[in-house]
Amino acid sequence: MSQTPAPQQRHIHVNAFNMNCVGHIHHGLWTHPRDRSTEYHTLKYWTDIAQTLEKGLFDGIFIADVIGYYDVYRRSADQTLREAIQLPVNNPWLLVSAMAAVTEHIGFGLTANISAHHPYTFARDVSTLDQLTRGRVGWNIVTGYVDSGARGLGLEGLPAHDQRYDQADDFLTLAYKLWEGSWDDDAVIADKARRIHALPDKVRPIVHEGPYYRANAIHMCAPSPQRTPVLFQAGTSARGVQFAGQHGEGIFIGAGSPEAARETSRKLRAAAVAAGRRADDLKIYVGIAVVVGRTEAEAREKYADYRTYASAEGGLAHFAASTGVDFSQYDLDEPIAFGQSNAIQSATQTAQQSGWTTRRKLLEQFTLGSRYPTIVGDPVQVADALERWVDVGEIDGFNLTRIVVPETWEDFAQLAVPELQNRGRYRTQYSEGTLRQQLFGRGDRLPEHHPAARWRQLAKAAA
């Protein structure tokens, strides 16, 4: 009698979470003797990381960025400068060509703030990199959250939270028109004998008159492999969820437990369905830290070692910028008044929901210099925990933070990945194709039910 085969378990997706700076998430760990973060301004640092990740079969490297700096804590940037809390910070986009040149499959999720770019020129930057990497580029769409960056851009401060998302909607509409609607796939023929490189009747200017942007121009680049890059997004406020449901493909969330992740995941997938898309159009990632050893004792010893270098106050200064609250003004056990934030609203919500209501309780969360959940154990224990996050949390994978570079990702690749592979939860080789194809298995381009496809369809109708 034949048995019904067990349902195939989903592969767990993993990005390395990094930033083009010294201190990223786990503040203070750059001082660890084995950490290489102070080499962030060298190409070899980045090419070594890219090759390590590809050996570990990671989906990609997700590079955060911020326009501005953190000056909320103690009302100055002194703590930020002393502890290298994401300052200095260099441009993440300029790293990609070097990393792509030494790898074949690893993807690149790159952060760009809409307020620092114009869609017309930004679309060219993205298309150029998508061509050079053969379709391995993703864009993490951010709207900014620190006033220091707004002042650097000539503004008095950040626009209102929801207004920033309205501007992002307009930015994306113009970018979609350029990426999807300006050039036909067969516009470029490169016919040397006839001296015709592109067919003029297959290229058209796009016209856009929006509330924030206007343009009347041909996209400066021929179509890249993906046309529109894979779209990442990290906002989980009410307006952020709406935005993610309409546009996002890879959504980065913060959650203190699998159960909290499940609540957020369901809201995001419901928002996608409400926008006329599918629930599985989203890949949802939780930010997490992993300390893995060959034995539990080895992992615990490593974790204890890391903690001696961590800066809880550095984590507090970072979180102050995320919430817009200067925690230094409160005594250790004085209740913190969290109000409506114009920074990252989900950060404030997380603090309130988790009971981080005093400075003492916040500092207790930052024992590794960060508020991210941390898994510590041997390969079996780590795999058990990651599976529970995915299955109970209804997520797709993780943005794996760096604690010590490159040790964090080397340990994960050498110890955790084989155990996940043995369970059928992690790829054993890369498939061919673009980043979008690697993630979704549905081709290189956005599906027809994504809002960007409208401009593709209108272009075909015009043709």
CA-CA distances (angstroms) from residue 4 to 8, 10, 11, 424, 425? 12, 18, 21, 18, 20
**CATH, residue 178:** 3.20.20.30
| Amino acid code (one letter) for 63 | I
Question: Which residue reads 């592979």 in tokens?
Answer: 421
374-377 and 60-64 strand pairing: unpaired
**What integer pLDDT is reported at residue 357 of this predicted model?**
79
pLDDT at 20 over 80: yes
Model pLDDT for residues 326-350, shown as the tens digit of each residue: 888 888 989 888 766 655 556 666 6
pLDDT at 230 over 50: yes
**What integer pLDDT is reported at residue 350 of this predicted model?**
67
Average pLDDT, the chain: 93
What's the rounded Cα separation, in Å, for the pair 41 and 389? 34
pLDDT at 386 over 50: yes
Find how far residue 404's CA is from the centre of its chain.
19
If pLDDT is split at 50, 70 and 90, which confidence band does 371 have?
confident
Is the peptide bond between 7 and the residue preceding it cis, with omega within 30 degrees of 0?
Answer: no
Q: What is the average per-residue pLDDT within 119-140?
A: 98
Tell me the backbone φ, ψ of residue 16, rounded to 5 degrees: -80, 130
Tokens representing residue 161 in the block: 């939270």
Of the candidates 178, 170, 77, the residue with the CA atom closest to the CA atom of residue 123: 178
Q: What is the average per-residue pLDDT within 368-384?
A: 95
**What integer pLDDT is reported at residue 351 of this predicted model?**
64
If pLDDT is split at 50, 70 and 90, which confidence band does 2 have?
very low
Q: Give domain status of residue 5, yes or no.
A: no
**What integer pLDDT is reported at residue 348 of this predicted model?**
62
Q: Give domain status of residue 4, yes or no.
A: no
If pLDDT is split at 50, 70 and 90, which confidence band does 380 have?
very high
In the chain, the number of structural domains is 1
pLDDT at 78 over 90: yes
157 neighbors 150 (Cβ within 8 angstroms): yes
Q: Give domain status of residue 208, yes or no.
A: yes
**What integer pLDDT is reported at residue 365 of this predicted model?**
84
pLDDT at 362 over 90: no
CB count within 10 Å of CB 50 equals 24
Q: How many Cα neighbours within 13 Å face the side chain of 18?
A: 31
Q: What is the average per-residue pLDDT within 257-273?
A: 97
What's the rounded Cα separation, in Å, for the pair 321 and 154? 20
When mean pLDDT is compared across 34-38, 143-147, 322-326, 339-343, the lowest value belongs to 339-343
Of the candidates 142, 145, 204, the residue with the CA atom closest to the CA atom of residue 177: 204
If pLDDT is split at 50, 70 and 90, which confidence band does 113 have?
very high
How wide is the angle at C-alpha 91 spanned by C-alphas 87 and 96, nearest 5°?
135
Tokens representing residue 55 in the block: 């050996």
Tell me the backbone φ, ψ of residue 408, rounded to 5 degrees: -55, -50
Tokens representing residue 118 in the block: 């114009």
Q: Give domain status of residue 2, yes or no.
A: no
What's the rounded Cα separation, in Å, for the pair 112 and 286? 20
Q: Give domain status of residue 457, yes or no.
A: yes
CA quadruple 384, 389, 391, 395: dihedral sign: negative
Q: What is the average per-residue pLDDT within 58-65?
A: 98
Domain that holds residue 55: 13-462
**What integer pLDDT is reported at residue 353 of this predicted model?**
63
CB count within 10 Å of CB 211 equals 9
H helix count then E strand count, the chain: 17, 13
**What integer pLDDT is reported at residue 236 of this predicted model?**
81
**What integer pLDDT is reported at residue 340 of this predicted model?**
65
**What integer pLDDT is reported at residue 335 of this predicted model?**
84
Cut 0.85: pTM above it: yes
Q: Give domain status of residue 359, yes or no.
A: yes
Model pLDDT for residues 400-412, shown as the tens digit of each residue: 999 999 999 999 9
pLDDT at 456 over 90: no
Q: Give domain status of residue 328, yes or no.
A: yes
What's the rounded Cα separation, in Å, for the pair 419 and 424? 9
Better-scored residue on pLDDT, 204 or 158: 204
Helices 161-176 and 238-247 pack at an angle, to 10 degrees, of 10
Share of residues in the chain with pLDDT > 90 (%): 83
pLDDT at 3 over 60: no
If pLDDT is split at 50, 70 and 90, which confidence band does 65 have?
very high
Q: Give domain status of residue 22, yes or no.
A: yes
CB count within 10 Å of CB 93 equals 21
Q: What share of the chain is helix, strand, coil (3-state, %, to 5)?
A: 45, 15, 40
When mean pLDDT is compared across 167-176, 259-268, 269-278, 348-357, the lowest value belongs to 348-357
Of the candidates 376, 390, 358, the residue with the CA atom closest to the CA atom of residue 286: 390
CB count within 10 Å of CB 373 equals 21
If pLDDT is split at 50, 70 and 90, which confidence band does 352 have?
low
pLDDT at 313 over 70: yes
Of the candidates 204, 200, 230, 229, the residue with the CA atom closest to the CA atom of residue 219: 204
Q: What is the average per-residue pLDDT within 251-264?
A: 95
